[in-house]
Amino acid sequence: MTRNTHDDVVLEAQNLSKHFPLRGIGAKGAVHAVDDLNLALRSGQVLALVGESGSGKSTVARLLARLYTQTSGTVLLRGEPVTAKRGKAFRAYSRRAQMIFQDPFASLNPVHTVRYVLTRAVRIHDPRLKGPELEDALSALLTRVQLTPERFVDKFPHELSGGQRQRVVIARALAAHPEVLLADEPISMLDVSIRVGILNLLKDLRDRLGIAILYITHDIASARYFADTTYVMYAGRIVESGDSESVTQMPAHPYTQLLVRSAPDPENLARTARTGANGEPPNMVTPPAGCRFHPRCPFATELCKTTPKLLTIAPGREVACWGYAAAVPGALDGVPEGVAVPDLGSAAAPVEVSGVPR
Ligand SMILES: Nc1ncnc2c1ncn2[C@@H]1O[C@H](COP(=O)(O)OP(=O)(O)OP(=O)(O)O)[C@@H](O)[C@H]1O
Ligand code: SF4
Ligand SMILES: [Mg+2]
């Protein structure tokens, strides 16, 4: 297992929330897209954020990229709160934390060649670069994303496949020497046969350049393959987190268990499809009280209508589910006697909290 220290942390979200007020005449209320989210992106590591459609994943990426301003909470870069919203400060921040979007077709302007796109990106970082030095910089970027420079540098986007375009988008992001890549479903629009190639490229950047990567996906199988840590999001909240192997092989939260069960083939990324848990996701304007999963959870009791805390069930593993409260010291403090605690039975993941083996 990777040993983490706080010095590794590049970008951090602390108690981050985003509520989108409803628009329109007489509209009241807000979409609770993200609530009280905490996570830390570490250098040389990939953190996967997994969840079904509408769970708030892209909103998290956009908050971290400062494309949205949070309703509450803090984003910290290298321990310093980030307040940049626009102008010079925003551009300086964007260079350090680069976003990669889902659609490589929309990300590149069709009238510009790869040379133009990368030259602009390189010059933002180093405005005086020209001649052979500029050529070398463009070649180095294309080589880094495994595209042969002389074959691709003068191509237009329409001459490239989806995978090649996404590689150019990644090369453009790398031109600024970012510390963080925020990749929002970077492979979901690509042909299944080339998805693994793009994930391997990102892995290579993680390992060779030490970049911290947020990898957003619907597909928990790819999180196991690619990410060091996996966070599972449901209806705007993190419900489980930990090292990817444990979260995907021994999921603790009933929602993660549903996600894992409905992933068709964890060993074969090419065959995995978009999947979700059974039942309907909740209304995010009036999300269910307490555990937001309770209307869909087979183990729910009355207690689940109050919000479960994130409980540490093993080193580096957290889960927000009342079903683990009896095994974690202090987790039932304040809960009146006689209230039924959910019994996950054989579905419960092992708890390894020191002093209370189970
Ligand atoms: N700009 C916005 N204005 C209003 N509501 C928004 C906005 N962006 C997102 N939302 C709402 O916030 C919630 C979370 O959306 P988000 O796009 O973050 O989910 P997601 O997990 O990325 O979904 P998907 O997997 O479909 O991309 C949804 O209910 C969505 O409708
Ligand atoms: S048992 Fe309760 S707290 Fe746990 S996931 Fe189900 S509804 Fe939520
Ligand atoms: Mg999204």
**Dihedral angle of Cα 117, 123, 129, 134, to the nearest 10 degrees:** -20
Using the mean position of ligand 1's atoms as its centre, give its distance from the Cα of residue 72 in Å.
Answer: 17
Write out the DSSP string of 114-180. HHHHHHHHHHHH-TT--HHHHHHHHHHHHHHTT--HHHHTT--GGGS-HHHHHHHHHHHHHTT--SE
List pLDDT tens digits, range 133-147.
Answer: 999 999 999 999 999
Predicted pLDDT at 281? 82
More confident residue, 256 or 125: 256
Using the mean position of ligand 1's atoms as its centre, give its distance from the Cα of residue 129 in Å.
Answer: 40
What lines the ligand 2 site, CB under 6 Å? 253-254, 291, 293-294, 297, 299-300, 304, 308, 321-323, 342
List pLDDT tens digits, range 306-331.
Answer: 999 999 999 999 999 999 999 999 99
**Is pLDDT above 70 for 19?**
yes
- What share of the chain in percent tops pLDDT 70? 93
**Which of ligand 1's atoms lies nearest the C-alpha of 236?**
14
Ligand showing the shortest atom-to-Cα distance for residue 101? 3
Element (H, E) at 249: helix 244-249
Ligand showing the shortest atom-to-Cα distance for residue 287? 1
Site to substitute for ligand 2 among 293, 305, 309, 324, most atoms within 8 A of C-beta:
293
* CB contact at 8 A, 66 and 234: no
Site to substitute for ligand 1 among 57, 60, 239, 283, most atoms within 8 A of C-beta:
57
Ligand showing the shortest atom-to-Cα distance for residue 218? 1
Using the mean position of ligand 2's atoms as its centre, give its distance from the Cα of residue 79 in Å.
Answer: 34
Predicted pLDDT at 125? 79
Cα separation, 339 vs 87, in Å, equals 54
Conformational region of residue 46, where left means phi above 0, alpha means psi within -120 to 50, and beta covers everything else: beta
Conformational region of residue 245, where left means phi above 0, alpha means psi within -120 to 50, and beta covers everything else: alpha
Q: What burial class does residue 287 get, using C-beta atoms within 10 Å of its C-beta: 0-12 exposed, 13-18 middle, 19+ buried? A: middle
Site to substitute for ligand 2 among 232, 239, 297, most atoms within 8 A of C-beta:
297
Predicted pLDDT at 99? 95
Instruction: Give the angle 302-323-219 at the CA atoms, nearest 5°.
Output: 110
Kindly list the protein residues that place their beta carbon closer than 5 angstroms to ligand 3, a single-atom ion: 58
- What share of the chain in percent tops pLDDT 90? 80
Amino acid at 313: I
**Which protein residue's CA is at the shortest distance from atom 28 of ligand 1?**
54
**Which of ligand 1's atoms lies nearest the C-alpha of 59?**
18
Cα separation, 226 vs 57, in Å, equals 17
